[in-house]
A and B are shown apart, each in its own frame.
Chain A
Amino acid sequence: MSPTAGAGNVPGVRIVVCVKHVPDIQSDRALGADGRLVRDGGDGTINEVDENAVEAAVVLAEQVGEAEVVVVTVGPDDAEDAARRALQLGADAAVHVLDDDVAGSDAFGTAAVLAAAVRRLGADVPVDLVVTGMAGLDGLTSLVPGALAALLDLPQLTLAADVALADGEITVRRDLDHATEVLSAPLPALVSVSDRANEPRYPNFQRIMAARKKPVETLTLADLGVDPATVGAAGARTAVVEAAPRPPRTDRVLVSDDGQAGARLAAWLVERDLVRPAAPPTGEVL
């Protein structure tokens, strides 16, 4: 790769991608008595939209030419699988923060650990861009990217459906509930991507073999200078006090249309008082 190819006058770019290891959404996921996700199922995987984050980083790196993509993950032993997957998808190196005191972290504990890891990486060679997925598809809080940007004091460009880098400026397009925006900021910056951002590449045999040779560094909270009391269950600002599986739906009806199913469904809905007069036409009251 030529060092001057691609994105204008960026001489070399260092990108950190944060990925999370989560239970496979296709599996039967459950919460334990402590309200925490049961993570011992063995069917964990990289958080799906984090693959889009890795892809976005790798594509930007390819465009720039001279660039490095480092993956950071926080979590128990299994979490290394998420880092390995990211390496197969094209990242160059990985950092795994592995420490029992991380367990039970809320979004802010997680963000604090990630921020410390990014700072440590940046102490060697400056980090130009941090990329994350838009949400963990387990908790779905979407709080980590904003918290991480605040902790690292970086401009944030979130929910990106499209990412472009040119002349040291990062630009994203994002689709909000009520508007579409284009945001732009100078590097260094933080970007979170949606699953619309790209189609992650498939790790073929060659990539899988190449990933085996890539380094994964394991770090503890002590290595990062993070006070264990500020993260994990000890530092959590919220606590799950109750968790229960949603009761199964009962009295279910399944019919094949015999030509009258639509009319019978209408009667069923009316009987259950599910048909209301049309509400005011918009979500606005004025």
Chain B
Amino acid sequence: MSTVLVLLDHADTGALRGSVLELATVARDLAGDGGAVHGLWVGDEPLDPALPVLGRHGVSVVHAATTGAADPRLTPVLAEVLVDAVTASGATVLLALSTFENKEAVARFAVATGAGVVTDAAAVERDAEGRVVAAKTVLAGTWTTRCAVLTDPAVVLVKAGAVPAREVDADAPALPAVSAREVAVSERATRARVVERTAEEPTDRPDLAAADTVVVGGRGTEGDFTALEALADVLGAAVGATRVATDEGWIGHEAQIGQTGVTVSPRLYIGAGVSGAVHHRGGMQASGTVVAINSDPEAPVFEIADYGIVGDLFVVLPQLTEALRAR
């Protein structure tokens, strides 16, 4: 019986990130019978619209924290809020999405509290001794490990898509109780300040890191993503790219998949004109099914492809798109 606290990541608009509901599901399994799932909402964005869906996903209490004049998007500020909320909720486990910002925040949280941290977890469970154990792939997706967190509190950052979000089994789940408070943030947390912030423009596509299907373009596209976009439309897929494609400015940097970019592990990965350099593989090798289309039969991507086509992507992709559309 324990309380698990979930960081409720949301966009600048206040829209909850969909994968947070997956975390709530993981949290319910970890909390067990008699345990509780609490949420932590940080910032001034309106919380009310999110409450019903959180209730349906088993969150019983939401701690709504504001930070006065301190910008909660600064990770040292977020870290202090995490310390406050874990103390207030009595949580023994803290879960958050595995983003760069959250990694920074929990690193500082861990220095303050002595907590152990696993990042990039693909699954989380309790072992026979009740310890929190997280599965993650390492070494560019070539190895799978299970890591036990030896501390209380335990912190796990979970990748999008770890589990399907599950609603609670109740006809009319209660709205979560809201516990609002302002956290007094220390001066040291705001010594680095945000001079400028440009939020990414919302797109009609799913979030790259969370998408079920990802269509990826590399050097072979020569900058023309039209055929990829059309396929992504039919599949409801996110569009990603290799480092070469983002460096060339063919697509925004936020689309870069790889060791220093976004890590994806969708059910279906389709790479077109992607050579499969090791940096890229490190960001996608944990994908379910890998499809590769490349005109070079020697491209390393074929070594890891479940279905490889040696051919011209500008011929193969439109045909694939047309066949799927005609279904």
Contacts of A156 in B (CB 8 A): 75-76, 104, 192
Contacts of B193 in A (CB 8 A): 183-185
Contacts of B263 in A (CB 8 A): 140
Map CB proximity to B onto A208-246 as digits: 1 under 8 Å, 0 otherwise.
Answer: 000000000000000000000000000011111111111
Of the listed stretches B86-94, B175-183, B203-211, chain A binds: B203-211
Tell which of B103, B110, B195, B254 touches A142, judged by Cβ atoms closer than 8 Å: B103
How distant is A87 from chain B, measured CB to nearest CB, in Å?
24
Asked whether B174 is an interface residue with its Cβ less than 8 Å from the other chain, the reply is no
Q: Are A147 and B192 in contact (CB under 8 A)?
A: no
Tell which of B12, B106, B311 touches A143, judged by Cβ atoms closer than 8 Å: B106
Please judge, given known A-B contacts A182-B195, A239-B150, A269-B268, whether A257 and B212 are in contact too, CB under 8 Å: no
Closest to B57 in A: A285
Please judge, given known A-B contacts A151-B111, A238-B150, whether A180 and B320 are in contact too, CB under 8 Å: no
Cα of A267 to Cα of B105 in the assembled complex, Å: 45
Asked whether B310 is an interface residue with its Cβ less than 8 Å from the other chain, the reply is yes
Q: Are B310 and A255 in contact (CB under 8 A)?
A: yes
Q: Are B148 and A265 in contact (CB under 8 A)?
A: no
Contacts of B112 in A (CB 8 A): 150
Tell which of A30, A144, A158 touches B143, judged by Cβ atoms closer than 8 Å: A30
Q: Are A283 and B18 in contact (CB under 8 A)?
A: yes
How distant is B102 from chain A, measured CB to nearest CB, in Å?
10
Of the four ranges (under 10, 10 to 19, 20 to 34, 35 or more), the interface on chain B belongs to: 35 or more
* Interface residues contributed by chain A, number (CB under 8 Å): 96
Contacts of B233 in A (CB 8 A): 278
Tell which of B18, B117, B302, B306 touches A284, judged by Cβ atoms closer than 8 Å: B18
Q: Are A277 and B236 in contact (CB under 8 A)?
A: yes
Please judge, given known A-B contacts A178-B200, A275-B324, whether A146 and B195 are in contact too, CB under 8 Å: no
Q: Are B282 and A254 in contact (CB under 8 A)?
A: no
Asked whether B140 is an interface residue with its Cβ less than 8 Å from the other chain, the reply is yes
Q: Are B139 and A29 in contact (CB under 8 A)?
A: yes
For the complex of A and B, 5 pairs with smallest distance between CB atoms = A283-B207, A257-B311, A262-B319, A237-B116, A278-B236
Q: Are A238 and B117 in contact (CB under 8 A)?
A: yes
Please judge, given known A-B contacts A183-B195, A237-B116, A284-B18, whether A145 and B144 are in contact too, CB under 8 Å: no
The A20-53 residues at the B interface (CB cut-off 8 A) are 25-26, 29-31, 35, 37, 49
Map CB proximity to B onto A176-205 as digits: 1 under 8 Å, 0 otherwise.
Answer: 111111111110010000111000000000
Contacts of B212 in A (CB 8 A): 276, 279
Tell which of B75, B148, B318, B327 touches A239, judged by Cβ atoms closer than 8 Å: B148
Asked whether B262 is an interface residue with its Cβ less than 8 Å from the other chain, the reply is yes
Contacts of B137 in A (CB 8 A): 246
Of the listed stretches A56-64, A88-96, A117-125, A131-139, chain B binds: A131-139
Asked whether A153 is an interface residue with its Cβ less than 8 Å from the other chain, the reply is yes
Tell which of A155, A261, A284 touches B311, judged by Cβ atoms closer than 8 Å: A261
Contacts of A141 in B (CB 8 A): 103, 117, 119-120
The B262-310 residues at the A interface (CB cut-off 8 A) are 262-263, 267-268, 278-279, 282, 285-286, 289-291, 297, 302, 304-310
Asked whether B196 is an interface residue with its Cβ less than 8 Å from the other chain, the reply is yes
The A255-275 residues at the B interface (CB cut-off 8 A) are 255-257, 259-263, 265-270, 272, 274-275
Contacts of B278 in A (CB 8 A): 25-26
Q: Are A257 and B49 in contact (CB under 8 A)?
A: no
Q: Are A29 and B236 in contact (CB under 8 A)?
A: no
Tell which of A176, A243, A282 touches B100, judged by Cβ atoms closer than 8 Å: A176
Asked whether B138 is an interface residue with its Cβ less than 8 Å from the other chain, the reply is yes
Q: Are B210 and A178 in contact (CB under 8 A)?
A: no
Contacts of A280 in B (CB 8 A): 18, 206
Please judge, given known A-B contacts A108-B110, A238-B149, whether A178 and B11 are in contact too, CB under 8 Å: yes
Q: Are A180 and B18 in contact (CB under 8 A)?
A: no
Q: A157-B192, A158-B75 are in contact. List 8 more A-B contacts (CB 8 A).
A: A29-B143, A142-B107, A146-B79, A179-B12, A254-B307, A254-B309, A275-B324, A275-B327
Asked whether A159 is an interface residue with its Cβ less than 8 Å from the other chain, the reply is yes
Cα of A135 to Cα of B310 in the assembled complex, Å: 35
Q: Are A237 and B268 in contact (CB under 8 A)?
A: no
Q: Are A107 and B117 in contact (CB under 8 A)?
A: yes
Asked whether A81 is an interface residue with its Cβ less than 8 Å from the other chain, the reply is no
15 intermolecular pairs with C-beta atoms under 8 Å apart: A37-B139, A108-B116, A140-B138, A142-B107, A156-B104, A158-B75, A177-B208, A180-B197, A237-B150, A240-B147, A241-B127, A252-B308, A276-B212, A282-B203, A283-B210
